[in-house]
A and B are shown apart, each in its own frame.
Chain A
């Protein structure tokens, strides 16, 4: 698989505020990369640099083998062949759905434009909205049209800036799947930025974590979630129980027992382990040393608060069989854990 986009050492500051430092990553043809970061972390700036709305201070951006940004040059957005889907669809309010989609197709004759528009309307499942005006569409429909509009000229890369942020939670997860399917069907290469962990992990082929203007980690959703590079990331990516531990003959000795680290560490190193709540198993045990102190019931599962020797921890249990408050239990840790030596 070929590489569609590569950023090398990209830095950007506004005035004295450094927004991005030495950012490097690449995106493979036909895949979706999500960039996950807190708000104000430089995600949107990164997209704007790739789109050509802003210029890099240093570093380079290469798209489809062609350099589009460097310290000395910057191709204007209309010459880059990128698709852009802003946070709030930003459809052209005076143009119909079809005219919005065909806006970037002015190099084609009208028959070719029409068939491309039909094809895309089909793809986004909005064939009967061809002549509607944007203001008559729902939020989700607008966002679909915005994606179709971006896909129409067959861009090298589609950039999506928090495309679901303005939608309500239920619509968001539905649209998320649809967008994933649409991008896949179009075999598009895409970058989506978001601050929502679940969103970033659920639809990506690759995830890049952007923290304080620096790429902290890049990898598949599974590896990012199961092996975050530090405690802070572990907590950022989801609930985590963090307890101190010391390496002792290949295992990490903690107050929840001797745990298996997923990497080897020198004997005697001390640090912290991070355990996902779903990796904790609560065994009802009249002689157990831990006591259930609270329970949040979600139906399919439950988050159970347990007071242990290591402090109060949260464990995710199967909803119907979760232990009652006040019940003594023994806490087990399933599988290997991430150990982060203190420095």
Chain B
């Protein structure tokens, strides 16, 4: 467990040491360049644009499918979260293969908006579910118009969900590497990767990473500040009012359909199209090798991360206190850092201390541990918390010591939950791109890296099978597992849905 926490902290610590070693003049020279300013401008404008788009569309979607009389609600509810099955770089590939004109800022904006809107949708939907719409009826009888009620009663109920998820979206956009690198839009992540790749200019890469960390921490700070607790509605069941849209219905229906076509239909059709075109030329050997590597990394990563995650989850759930809270917060820091930065800091660290580890699968797994430990802890806390403390106490009175109780009672009882946590992390690992790309041993390719390199050279038909495989073996299952977990969490902890309905950032990294 301590090892897990240490691994989480290493990258950050090391980057700090590294940059302080550079000397003030070199650091300021690297940082204070016109180029840096351009990166800041690019990263921030993209984050802002994506954040606003996702917030607007996600909130509108949630309200339309949950609180109006719109047709095909079930269908639109499903397609609203379907983009979660498409990693950002798969979407970027799909759109690039439709038209090469979709690139740069506009391309990144489109793709990342599609990727992140589901997070806003889910958060706002959860807030709407907790909101008692009978209070809107009361407000109407107190003399307020429908619009005024939406402003004074409905919006306050979903405001913190919309703003909070919006800031998370900005955070994901800032840390995304896959989409911006394929769209060739120079944000920090792409620049850091290029600086590292092109010249092995580690100092400049490190300095840029430090600025990116600063921006990230600033956003986390903002996100924490907006995270006010939604006042709990004082009831547990109530009717849901459906607003009649009247003449607006057609337009709303059209809007939802267009977003579905842009976000899901066009990308999926395009991928299938290219897969069919390139079918005859597909290199089956290459594909199956990448497939096996991907599955191996996924399973090993899942088990490793879940193992440490379980230890921390047990500590956090069973021994709550300031220490366990501190541990939980510590591992969250690395989670918020872009994958590129975490991978890079492992490169620096290993080269300096144990060069023999450089470009080994062990290092790749270590990076997964740092990146995804919080996901595992979040998911594992629920099954552990569901084991009634009473059965543990009974086990103790029957002669089991704490370790035996854990092994014979708690872990078996939480078994299904632990398995689904392993599956969840494995699927997340399979979709991971930047850390795998930077740290993998020479010659080892995964589905994600193959897709990325083929797209980089516009080999669209060669890339298609990888995109398809990624969606089928990782994207869709992840969506299902995620939904399952969300359901369980909603049932088990009705009082704290605000935190569990927060999406896991990993999926867009």
Point out residues on A near B: beta carbons under 8 Å: 51-53, 76-94, 103-104, 106-107, 133-135, 137, 139, 142, 146, 149-150, 152-153, 155, 166
Q: Which residue of B lies closest to A83 (CB)?
A: B141
Cβ–Cβ < 8 Å partners of B140 in chain A: 52-53, 76-78
Q: Which residue of B lies closest to A146 (CB)?
A: B138
Q: How far is the CB of B496 from chain A (nearest CB, A)?
A: 14
Given A78-B143, A94-B156, A104-B142, are A133 and B137 neighbors across the interface (CB < 8 Å)?
no
Do B141 and A77 have beta carbons less than 8 Å apart? Answer: yes
Q: From B153, B157, B230, B234, name the one whose CB has the most chain A CB atoms within 10 angstroms.
A: B234
Is the contact region of chain A dominated by helix, strand, or loop, or is it mixed?
A: loop
CA distance A142 to B132 in the complex (A): 14
Q: From B139, B146, B156, B238, name the one whose CB has the most chain A CB atoms within 10 angstroms.
A: B139
Do B138 and A149 have beta carbons less than 8 Å apart? Answer: yes
Q: How far is the CB of A154 from chain B (nearest CB, A)?
A: 11
Do B234 and A135 have beta carbons less than 8 Å apart? Answer: yes
Cβ–Cβ < 8 Å partners of A139 in chain B: 234
Additional A-B contact list (12), CB under 8 Å, known A86-B137, A104-B141, A139-B234: A78-B140, A78-B141, A81-B143, A82-B141, A84-B138, A90-B132, A90-B134, A91-B135, A92-B135, A107-B143, A133-B231, A134-B231
Cβ–Cβ < 8 Å partners of B153 in chain A: 92
CA distance A85 to B139 in the complex (A): 11
Rank and list the top 10 A-B pairs by shortest CB-CB distance, nearest first.
A104-B142, A93-B231, A77-B140, A90-B134, A88-B235, A90-B135, A84-B141, A94-B156, A86-B134, A135-B232
Q: Which of B122-160 contact A (CB under 8 A)?
A: 131-132, 134-135, 137-146, 152-153, 156-157
Given A88-B132, A88-B134, are A103 and B139 neighbors across the interface (CB < 8 Å)?
yes
CA distance A79 to B140 in the complex (A): 9
Cβ–Cβ < 8 Å partners of B132 in chain A: 88, 90, 93
Do B141 and A51 have beta carbons less than 8 Å apart? Answer: yes
Cβ–Cβ < 8 Å partners of A91 in chain B: 135, 234
Q: What bracket does the count of chain B residues touching chain A fall in?
A: 20 to 34
Q: Which residue of A lies closest to B232 (CB)?
A: A135
Q: Which residue of A lies closest to B231 (CB)?
A: A93
Do B238 and A80 have beta carbons less than 8 Å apart? Answer: no
Do A92 and B141 have beta carbons less than 8 Å apart? Answer: no
Q: How far is the CB of A189 from chain B (nearest CB, A)?
A: 15
CA distance A82 to B156 in the complex (A): 24
Q: Which residue of A lies closest to B132 (CB)?
A: A90
Cβ–Cβ < 8 Å partners of B141 in chain A: 51-52, 77-78, 80, 82-84, 104, 150, 155
Cβ–Cβ < 8 Å partners of A82 in chain B: 141
Q: Which residue of A lies closest to B137 (CB)?
A: A53
Point out residues on B near A: beta carbons under 8 Å: 131-132, 134-135, 137-146, 152-153, 156-157, 230-235, 238
Do A88 and B234 have beta carbons less than 8 Å apart? Answer: yes
Cβ–Cβ < 8 Å partners of B238 in chain A: 88, 90
CA distance A86 to B134 in the complex (A): 7
Given A84-B137, A86-B138, are A78 and B145 neighbors across the interface (CB < 8 Å)?
yes
Do A90 and B235 have beta carbons less than 8 Å apart? Answer: yes
CA distance A150 to B152 in the complex (A): 17
Q: Which residue of B lies closest to A44 (CB)?
A: B239
Cβ–Cβ < 8 Å partners of B134 in chain A: 86-88, 90
Do B137 and A51 have beta carbons less than 8 Å apart? Answer: yes
Do A93 and B233 have beta carbons less than 8 Å apart? Answer: yes
Do A153 and B157 have beta carbons less than 8 Å apart? Answer: no
Cβ–Cβ < 8 Å partners of A89 in chain B: 234-235
Q: Which residue of A lies closest to B131 (CB)?
A: A93
CA distance A84 to B136 in the complex (A): 11
10 contacts between A and B (CB under 8 A): A81-B143, A83-B141, A85-B138, A86-B137, A93-B131, A93-B231, A103-B139, A106-B143, A135-B232, A135-B234
Do B234 and A92 have beta carbons less than 8 Å apart? Answer: no
Cβ–Cβ < 8 Å partners of B135 in chain A: 90-93
Cβ–Cβ < 8 Å partners of A87 in chain B: 134
Cβ–Cβ < 8 Å partners of B230 in chain A: 93
| Contact pick for A90, options B138, B143, B231, CB 8 Å | B138
Do A149 and B231 have beta carbons less than 8 Å apart? Answer: no
Do B231 and A153 have beta carbons less than 8 Å apart? Answer: no
CA distance A78 to B139 in the complex (A): 8
Q: How far is the CB of B159 from chain A (nearest CB, A)?
A: 9
Do A93 and B157 have beta carbons less than 8 Å apart? Answer: yes
Q: From B131, B145, B146, B233, name the one whose CB has the most chain A CB atoms within 10 angstroms.
A: B233
Cβ–Cβ < 8 Å partners of A134 in chain B: 231, 234
Q: Which residue of B lies closest to A48 (CB)?
A: B137
Cβ–Cβ < 8 Å partners of A135 in chain B: 231-232, 234
Do A153 and B139 have beta carbons less than 8 Å apart? Answer: no
Do B157 and A94 have beta carbons less than 8 Å apart? Answer: yes
Q: From A53, A92, A103, A166, name the one whose CB has the most chain B CB atoms within 10 angstroms.
A: A92
Cβ–Cβ < 8 Å partners of A93 in chain B: 131-132, 135, 157, 230-234
